[in-house]
Structure 1
Amino acid sequence: MQEKAGAGGYWYTQDTEQQAGAVGVLNALREYRASEAAMRRRTRSSMGMGETDLLALRYLLQAEAQGRAVGPKELGSQLGVTSASMTTLIDRLVKTGHIRREPHPTDRRALILRPTPGSDEEVRRTLGLMHQRMIAVASSLSAKEAEIIARFLTSMRDAVDAIDSENDEGR
């Protein structure tokens, strides 16, 4: 989606050729984010899960692959979920067979949350083809292109994260 310089794009003006290019990049990034959000909705629907459920399962699968044990408090902190909401989320994921509760090996009062063996396969089956297509696109980049894009995306993340820091400082 290439817009004409000077015509503006979304919130941005395009007074120079460089600004027009920048607006084109931001528009492409916005379109990617919209496509990714739609894909997440389709994935949640096909798996019968909400956004937070899927994020929780993904975090637990990653922790399991790293050999880390995760308790409800850590998961809740990672997801930004209250203790009461965390209990409801865990109950729901246990009921659907995506995770299980296990006693902590050294603390009788604590629990460890583990994904069930079938959860990893369900996620791979649901997301595998999409991840393969994404890897194919990323693999088509030269090392220099990949470095530039990674630096750009990291800088964009930092720019967006700085908004929260600035808002927190102004309070």
Structure 2
Amino acid sequence: MYEKSSRYGVVRRLGTALLRFMQQIEAVYEHIAASTRMHPTDFRTICLLADAKTPLSPKDIGHALGLTSGAVSALILRLEGHGLISRQPNPTDRRGVLISLNEETAAPALRDYHALHAHYMQVTEEFTAAELEVVARYMENIRQVTTGHLMLAGAEPPKASK
């Protein structure tokens, strides 16, 4: 009985921690976006492009951020107007384009984002590879459950980051 109630307490603690983390990361992203005078979606897009390390198609951006094609078009126009991104022809699709981050222009907005990730890495260093494997497996399984829920609800889930 003790083991079952102990497990329940840990599961509750984990669920609470995960929910609070999700809320905090949203708050941090919104704060960074506001402090750099960007819309939160614009900021998420430059973070996505910075993490991708390669150009992305508008469709990939839309899937990753859960945006319609019309919203992606408006987003690209805004980011391009601010010099944060550029378009180039897609070599595998003659009608398509790829979106690249202008790293120099985006650097001020990404400074806090990169600092946050550096702090995450410091915390990560406190754990063994085996412990991190358990956390990674848990997060991947939770993501699969969430994706399944979205699909049952008729929503298109975001694509996994590359």
Give the TM-score, by structure 2 length: 0.76
Q: Where in structure 2 are the equivalents of 1:47-66 lying within 5 Å?
A: 47-63=36-52, 65-66=53-54
Query: Of 27, 41, 49, which residue of structure 2 is paired with 1:38?
Result: 27
**2:16: which partner in 1?**
27
Q: 2:119 aligns with which of 107, 117, 133?
A: 133
Contact in 1 for aligned 2:32/2:109 (Cα 8 Å)? no
Q: Write out per-residue CA displacement over residues 21-57 of structure 1, whole angstroms, 9 at most, x where no aligned residue.
A: 2112111212222221211111111222223212322
CA, structure 1 residues 19+54, in 2 after alignment: closer, same or farther (shift >3 Å)? same
Distance in 1 between residues matched to 2:145 and 2:94, nearest whole Å? 44
* Aligned partner (choices 137, 141, 148) of residue 134 of structure 2: 148
Query: Cα RMSD (Å) of the superposition?
Result: 2.6
Q: Quick check: 1:158 aligned with 2:159?
A: no
| 1:111 and 2:97 are equivalent in the alignment | yes
Identical columns (%): 25
Mapped to 2, the partners of 1:71 and 1:156 lie a distance apart of: 27
Residue deviations 1:53-103 (CA, integer Å, cap 9, x gap): 12322333344x24xx43334433443333332221111101112112334
Deviation of 1:165 after TM superposition, in Å, equals 3.5
Mapped to 2, the partners of 1:18 and 1:77 lie a distance apart of: 36
The letter of the residue matching 2:126 is: S
User: What residue identity is the alignment partner of 1:146?
Assistant: L
SS in 2 for 1:114: strand
Moved segments of 4+, more than 6 Å: none
- The secondary structure found in structure 2 opposite 1:152 is helix
Q: Secondary structure at the match of 1:16?
A: helix
Q: Does 1:86 align with 2:72?
A: yes
In the alignment, the residues of structure 1 paired with residue 137 and residue 118 of structure 2 have an alpha-carbon distance, to the nearest angstrom, of 23
Aligned residues: 151
Structure 1 gap ranges (5+): 1-14
**Which moved further from structure 2: 145-154 or 117-126?**
117-126
What amino acid does structure 1 have at the position aligned with 2:40? E
Asked whether the 8 Å contact 2:49–2:56 carries over to 1, the reply is: yes
Amino acid in the other structure paired with 1:162: G
Q: Distance in 2 between matches of 1:161 and 1:106?
A: 28
